[in-house]
Chains A and B, each alone.
Chain A
Amino acid sequence: MSAATPKGRAMTSEHLLEVHDLQVEFGGDDGPVPVLRGVSWHVDRGETLAILGESGSGKSMTAQVIMGILDTPPARISGGSVRWNGRDLLGLPEPARREVRGRGVGMVFQDSLSALNPVLRVGPQIGETLRTRLGLSRREARDRTVELMRQVRIPDAEQRYRQYPHHFSGGMRQRAVIAMALALSPDVLIADEPTTALDATVQVQILRLLQALQEESGMGLVLITHDFGAVASIADRVAVMYAGRVVETGVVRDIFRRPAHPYTKALLDAVPRADRRAGRLAALPGQPPVLGKESTGCPFRFRCPLAEAVCEEREPVLKEHAQGHWSACHLGKDVIADVLTAHS
Chain B
Amino acid sequence: MDTIGALFHGFAIALTPGNLIAVFLGAFIGTVIGVLPGLGPTATIALLLPITIGMDMVTALIMMAGIYYGAMYGGSITSILVNIPGEAASVVTCIDGYQMARQGRAGPALGLSAFGSFIGGTVSVIAVMLISPFLAETALKFGAPEMFALLFFAFTCIGGLTGKSRAQGLLMACVGLLLGTIGTDDIQGVDRFVFGTLYLQDGIGLVPLAMGIFGLGEILYNIEKREAQGSVLETPKSLLPTAGDWKRAAGPIARGSFLGFGVGVIPGGMPAVASLVSYALEKRVSKRPEEFGHGAVEGVAGPETANNAATAGGFVPLLTLGIPTNSVLALMLAAMMLHGVTPGPLLLLKWPDVFWGVIASMYIGNVMLMVLNVPLIGLFVQLLKVPYGILSPLIIMFVMLGAYALKNSISDLATTILFGLMGYLMKRFGVEPAPLILAFVLGPMLENNLSKALIMSRTGNPLYFFSRPISATLLSLAILVLLYPLIRWAWRFATGRLAAAKGSC
Physical interaction between A and B: no
Listed in ascending order, the chain A residues whose CB lies under 8 Å from chain B are: none
